[in-house]
Every structure is written in C-alpha cells, then in structure tokens.
Amino acid sequence: MPELPEVETSCRGLAPLLIGKPVTSVQIRKARLRWPIPTELPDTLPGYTLRAIHRRAKYLLFEFDHGHLLIHLGMSGSLRVCPVDLTPEKHDHVDIVFAGQQCLRLRDPRRFGAVLWLVEALHEHALFKHLGPEPLLDDFDANYLYSKSRQRMVSIKQLIMDNRIVVGVGNIYASEALFMAGLRPTHKARRLSKQAAEQLTLSIKQVLAEAIKLGGTTLRDFVSGEGKPGYFQQKLQVYGRGGQACYRCGTCIKQLNIGQRSTFYCPHCQA
C-alpha cells in the first residue's frame, strides 16, 4: 500500500482533521513493530497540541512543541481517524487520542512499520542523516542523478530505489518511471547517458506527481477509515502486468527479479 503518494495522501488527509488539537491519551495495544514503540509515549504526548504534519521520504512527522512523533507505514500500514470508542480490529496497534473523542489509529498487519519519538533535530537523527533529496523538489534533477550514477555497478532501478540517491521511489513507481522514460530496469547505472538522466528524472517526478493527484493506488476516507481501490491502479502501465500486452506496442510485458524485488518492463519500448 504505502509508497510515497500514499504517504503524502495520508499527510494531506490527516492534517485538517488533527492539527491544533491536544492529545488526551495514547493507547498501545501491541508495541512490537519494526522497533518497539517507546513505552513512555503515553506519558509524553498528553497535554501537548499537534502543531503540524510533515513528510520526509516515507516518514510521517507529527510536530509537537517538545518533539516529533515519527510514523512509518512499512509495507502494510495505514492510518485513519475514527471515534475512540470504535472497537479496534485485530491489527490496530496504536491509538493517539485527541480532544473531541477522535483518535488517530495505526493499523499494520505485517508490523514492518514504526512509531518513534524524536527529541533531537530531525537532520541529526540517524534515519534522516543520509537521505537523498525529495524527488519532487528542484534539487533532484538530471545533473544530480547523472553525477550520482557515475562508477555505479548497480542497475538503474536499484539506483533510483536507493534512499541515499533519492527518497520515495518505491517498487511500483520505479518500474513505472522506467517505462515512461523508455529505459530498461537492468541497464547499468554507470552507462546512463546525460539525456537518459534527463528523461528519467522527469519521469520520476511525473509519475509520482500524478499518483499523488489521484490519491495513490488506494483511496482512503480518513474519517470512517474505509479504503477503496484507487484511481492510480488503472494507470499502471507495467507493474503487475507480466505476460500481458504492452498498452503502447502490444509486446508481452516481462517480469524478473532485481535485488529480490519483482520488476516489470516492456522489452520493445524500453531499450
């Protein structure tokens, strides 16, 4: 579920519902996520008002006057706002309860997600220190990607999925951006031409921007918490389409593994 567009959609959807509200309590039902949820959280947050919600890479950052609550959705996480007395389901691990009886509820069946409390400056934290630029900002451009790709033996797909190069390009959108750019995912990063770097940066920006505009691959109603199939799913050109005909040329879409992640491309459209 959560690639960058979903995280951004969550961020934008939650903000108007929660910003300006004070926390009244915190319920932790299962603390074992990727890392244990800090046990002091129920003593740390109540009484403090949520000031803002930020996104950096796929991390959501809930800003309070005394620190940031970090939430990562991992592979299967989702957030919703619901009445605090709504019975939690099996994988609803955490509630952040706000004044007004509404709570922010984290669901995460696979528990690859994370909830952390950060007091230090964000740029000093180990998780943020080595992150590359945001793909949608101007400091991610063709010159940057070209220079970072020099001397690199890895495939171009692995390069753009590397958080230290650029953040937020997940497995779905990596395949999609490479299709849009007409580049084969197996292409060695070091052999990327200046022109291809230009095309690829534009494609990454375009694919992510459009997915955000459409609310990601899953649409979520933050109040009731109901998820329904999103509009971007029907826009996917290659991801999940192994064995089917390319929409552009009719050639059979190929599927292979790159770095243990399934990868899709059109052998005719992508050189």
Chain-centre distance of CA 38, in angstroms?
A: 23
CA distance 42 to 28: 8
Is 2 near DNA (CB under 7 A)? yes
Write out the E strands in 99-144.
102-107, 114-118
261 is catalytic: yes
Residue 95 within binding range of DNA, rule CB under 7 A: no
The reply to whether 3 belongs to the active site is: yes
Query: Is 96 in a helix, a strand, or coil?
Result: strand
Choosing from 163, 209, 214, 252, the residue that interacts with DNA (CB under 7 A) is: 163
Whether 176 is catalytic: no
- Count of chain residues binding DNA (CB under 7 A): 35
CB of 100 or CB of 259, closer to DNA: 259
For residue 157, how many other CB atoms are within 10 A of its CB? 25
If one asks whether residue 172 binds DNA (CB under 7 A), the answer comes out as yes
Cross-strand partners of 142: none
Nearer to DNA, 23 or 165 (CB): 165
Q: Which is nearer to DNA, 79 or 97 (CB)?
A: 79
Nearer residue to DNA within complex by CB, 22 or 109? 109
Q: Which of 102, 199, 217, 237 binds DNA (CB under 7 A)?
A: 217
Question: The tokens of 60 are what?
Answer: 């959501």
One residue of 10, 158, 203, 237 binding DNA per CB under 7 A: 158
Catalytic residue among 12, 30, 111, 261: 261
The HSE-up count of residue 13 (CA atoms within 13 Å, CB side) is 23
Residue 43 in 3-state DSSP?
helix
Cα–Cα distance, 58 to 212 (Å, whole number): 13
- Among 87, 147, 234, 260, which residue interacts with DNA (rule: CB under 7 A)? 260
Task: Name the minimum Å distance from CB 207 to DNA.
Answer: 13
144 in contact with DNA (CB under 7 A): no
Q: How many CB atoms lie within 10 A of CB 103?
A: 26
CA atoms within 13 A on the CB side of 93: 24
Is-catalytic flag, 105? no
Quick one: which of 201, 218, 237, 270 contacts DNA (CB under 7 A)?
218
> Quick check: 185 binds DNA (CB under 7 A)?
no
Query: 8 CB contacts (<8 Å, ≥6 apart)?
Result: 55, 212, 216
Can you tell me the distance from the alpha carbon of 73 to that of 107, in angstroms, rounded to the nearest whole number?
Answer: 9
Which is the catalytic residue, given 5, 8, 58, 185? 58
How is residue 122 annotated by DSSP? Answer: G
Minimum separation from the CB atom of position 175 to DNA (A): 9
Among 12, 111, 125, 205, binds DNA (CB under 7 A): 111
What gap in Å lies between CA 161 and CA 142, rounded to an integer? Answer: 16
H helix and E strand count, the chain? 7, 12
Exactly one of 49, 56, 112, 182 binds DNA (CB under 7 A); which one?
112
Binding site for DNA (CB under 7 A): 1-3, 6, 32, 34, 57-58, 72, 74-76, 90-91, 109-112, 126-127, 152-154, 158, 163, 170-172, 216-218, 259-262
Catalytic residue IDs: 2-3, 58, 261
